[in-house]
């Protein structure tokens, strides 16, 4: 008998760009797949960077069976168009800027526009243990769809402006949960690009004071290896397996697994 999959949907979100959101989604997907879970990384950001992290670029690949836009339009399901990457067999649905950007414009004209992705992923859950959703760095319709479709949200925070974004995300998530009667919760907030500065310490202290139950112990240090791995289209745990920053992500994966009771 085939193993029953967990079907856990986790969204990565922060309205501030440059906080290592996509890097973190790719790293955790790779690590959890290596640990034996069946993982789908679904790119819900028109920039398409999550797919690129796994070497799947819609600009250079003409043989893809579909993109995220096809899910929204109902042309195909995620499980039909997901392709297996070369990195720990993570399955990927890539995003095309030309196709996904228009989706955000016409979504407001659709009934139940905030729940489109959630409804489309109902059958997809049975095929995967984890579905990771990468959201754009804003609170537009695509990001709201990620919030609504997710069981849990992970929020990377970098610097004081990242802290301000956290307040906005929590408020938006709570509002959506109330309007649509959703169970979405924040799985955790974690600091990225950490260094030994007063700014990092002050951000950590502020989160501890305001959201003590949300702040994860794991922190992701600043490293040039992250930029290199992105440029070479590889998740950081695959590019620099024995590096300190890869170890940081392994620790984050452990902490997330513990919070989920796995």
**Mean residue pLDDT across the chain:** 92
Paired tokens of 86: 């070369």
Instruction: Give me the pLDDT at residue 161, please.
Output: 67
What pLDDT, on the 0 to 100 scale, is given for residue 15?
82
Q: CA 233 to CA 240: how far, in whole Å?
A: 12
Looking at residue 160, what is its pLDDT?
A: 67
Under-70 pLDDT residues of the chain: 1-2, 160-162, 196-197
Closest of 119, 205, 192, 189 to residue 154, by C-alpha: 189
As beta bridge partners, residue 188 has 154
Contact at 8 Å (CB) between 220 and 211?
A: no
Q: What is the pLDDT of residue 109?
A: 87
| CB within 8 Å of 202: residues ≥ 6 apart | 160
* Exposed e or buried b per residue across 85-102, where buried means at least 16 C-beta atoms within 10 angstroms of its C-beta: bebbebbbbbbbeebbee
Euclidean distance between CA atoms 95 and 244, whole angstroms: 30
pTM: 0.94
Q: Residue with structure tokens 């609504």?
A: 148
């Amino acid at each position: 008998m085939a193993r029953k999959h967990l079907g856990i949907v986790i969204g990565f979100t922060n309205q501030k760009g440059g906080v290592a959101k996509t890097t973190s989604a790719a790293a955790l997907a790779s690590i959890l797949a290596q640990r034996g879970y069946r993982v789908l990384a679904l790119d819900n950001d028109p920039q398409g960077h999550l797919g690129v992290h796994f070497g799947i670029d819609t600009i250079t690949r003409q043989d893809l069976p579909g993109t995220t836009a096809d899910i929204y339009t109902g042309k195909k399901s995620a499980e039909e168009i997901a392709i297996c990457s070369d990195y720990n067999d993570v399955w990927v649905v890539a995003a095309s800027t030309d196709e996904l950007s228009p989706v955000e414009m016409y979504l407001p004209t659709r009934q139940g526009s905030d729940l489109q992705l959630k409804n489309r992923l109902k059958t997809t859950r049975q095929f995967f243990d984890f579905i990771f959703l990468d959201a754009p760095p804003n609170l537009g319709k695509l990001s709201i769809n990620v919030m609504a479709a997710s069981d849990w949200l992970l929020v990377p925070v970098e610097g004081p402006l990242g802290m301000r974004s956290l307040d906005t995300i929590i408020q938006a998530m709570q509002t959506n949960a109330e309007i649509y009667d959703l169970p979405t919760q924040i799985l955790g907030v974690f600091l990225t690009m950490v260094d030994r500065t007063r700014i990092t310490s002050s951000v950590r202290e502020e989160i501890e004071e305001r959201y003590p139950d949300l702040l994860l112990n794991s922190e992701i240090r600043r490293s040039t290896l992250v930029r290199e791995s992105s440029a070479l289209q590889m998740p950081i745990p695959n590019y620099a397996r024995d590096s300190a920053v890869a170890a940081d992500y392994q620790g984050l994966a452990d902490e997330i697994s513990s919070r989920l009771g796995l």
